[in-house]
Every structure is written in structure tokens, then in C-alpha cells.
Amino acid sequence: MSDVPAFPAPDPSTRWEAPVDSTSHRNRRRGRWFALGLLFVTVVAVGALFSEGTRRASDAAADMVRVSAGCRVPVALRSTGDFWVYVEEGPVPMPDNADCTNAGLMMENPHDMPMLGFAVATPDGVERQVVEVEPNRRYDLGRNEGLLTSRFAGRSGETVIVGVVADSPDVAIAIGENVFSVRTPWRIAAGVVLALGLLLSAMTFRVAAKR
């Protein structure tokens, strides 16, 4: 007979559970919260960049020189380069030096808008070339809504005479920056931030899940 003592049979009602690694659990939870925070910051940053681009474009549109149909107005150019021409609703307030008895310009309309034409010339009567822009993009910036139609080149400090004719007084043209180019860099930046933010958030979630 063996001298090895007999051990009692295990009680089936008693279970042994491995201790939970509380440190690992806390790390996973911390990682998830960090990823959610990163995602929130990304959304806020994208919204801020998008809004800033829209604000700058709206400011550029508000700062344009506007000429009502039937008027001939001297316009002082404040920079060198291309000046962009948009068709907006009119009429708009005109300065005292505007000649609004009818610009007297007989032009074929290059913008596919009935009976609308404009010309740009120097004070001594030399006509400035106006180039049609395609496609005709439309903007709606709250305070201003218009259709991009054409552009012309100018130099800082010079004055040009802008004349507009139309079959309706409810038309005006606006001259200024390319509002689409003003806001495009901000929208590109918003897209880049969104892509990077989503990528980093996804990577953080994956790392947290493996801890």
C-alpha cells in the first residue's frame, strides 16, 4: 500500500480565475479615449479651415468693384496681375464720377447671358483685351452671388474705364480677385488634415485594441 497521502477530490463548485491585468485594461481604455480625442480635434480643425477659406472668399467678394448696367466708371487698380469679372444682380450704388446715362458699348455678349456686354479701356481710349473664362463657375457667399465670366490684365496704380450694357437694370458686374483661388488652398488643407486625422485615429484604435 502506498504511503502517498490521498488528496480530497476538487470541489466542482469552486472555480479559479486568472487575475485581470488592470494596467493593460487601463492602457486600452486610455488609448481609445486618446483616439476619440484625436478624431474630435480633427473634425474641429477641418471645420475651422473650411470656414476660414469661405470667410476669406466672402471678404474678397465684398471688396470687389461693382459697376451697374448702363454705367461707365473709372476703376483704379490696386495690384498687378489678372482681374476677374463676375456677373451679379444689380443695380448697385455708383460713385459720383460714374457716367450712368448708358455706356454706349455695342458688343456681342461673350457670357451666354441675353444682351449683356462690357468693355475695359484706358482713359485715352485704348481697349484692354478681355479673355473669356470657362467653365463659368458660380459662387454664393451669402452676401454676394455671382457668375465668373472673364478676366483682364492690369497694373497696380493704373486706372481703366469699365463700361457695362444690358437689356435690364438688374445686372451688374464685379471686378476683383478670383474668389475660387482664394478659398481653394484652405479647402485643400482641410482635406489633408481630415485624411491625416482619420488615419492617425484608426491607427491609435488598433494599437489600443492590441494592448
| Peptide bond preceding 135 in cis form (omega within 30 of 0) | yes
33: helix, strand or coil = helix
Residue of 207, 65, 28 lying closest to 146 (CA atoms):
65
Cβ atoms of 178 and 85 within 8 Å: the answer is no
d(CA 98, CA 166): 16
CA-closest candidate to residue 69, choices 28, 118, 110: 118
Q: Which residue has the higher pLDDT, 95 or 50?
A: 50
Q: 150 and 130 in contact (C-beta within 8 Å)?
A: yes
pLDDT digits (tens, 9 = 90+) for 155-193: 998 999 998 888 777 788 899 988 888 888 888 999 999
What Cα–Cα distance (Å) separates residue 72 from each residue in 61, 103, 161, 200?
21, 5, 7, 57
- Give the residue carrying C-alpha cell 473650411: 50
* Spatial separation of the C-alpha atoms in residues 186 and 194, rounded to whole Å: 12
- Residue bearing the bigger pLDDT, 28 or 107: 28
Domain spanning 64-176, CATH architecture: Sandwich (2.60)
User: Given the DSSP bridges, would you call strands 171-176 and 127-128 parallel, antiparallel or unpaired?
Assistant: unpaired
pLDDT at 158: 92
> For residues 117 and 70, what is the distance between their CA atoms, to the nearest angstrom?
10
What SS3 class is residue 41? Answer: helix
Find the mean pLDDT for residues 121-128.
Answer: 89
Mean pLDDT of 22-46: 81
Q: Is-contact 108 118, C-beta < 8 A? A: no
Predicted model pTM: 0.67
- The predicted pLDDT at position 30 comes to 78
Rounded to an integer, what distance in angstroms lies between the CA atom of residue 20 and that of residue 22?
Answer: 6
Contact between 177 and 60 under an 8 Å Cβ cutoff? The reply is yes
* Structural domain spans, the chain: 24-56+185-210, 64-176
What is the per-residue pLDDT for 106?
44
In tens, the pLDDT along 78-116 reads 889 999 999 887 767 777 777 887 644 444 444 555 567
Average pLDDT score over the chain: 79
Whether the predicted pLDDT of 198 surpasses 80: yes
Distance (Å, whole) CA 146 – CA 109:
17
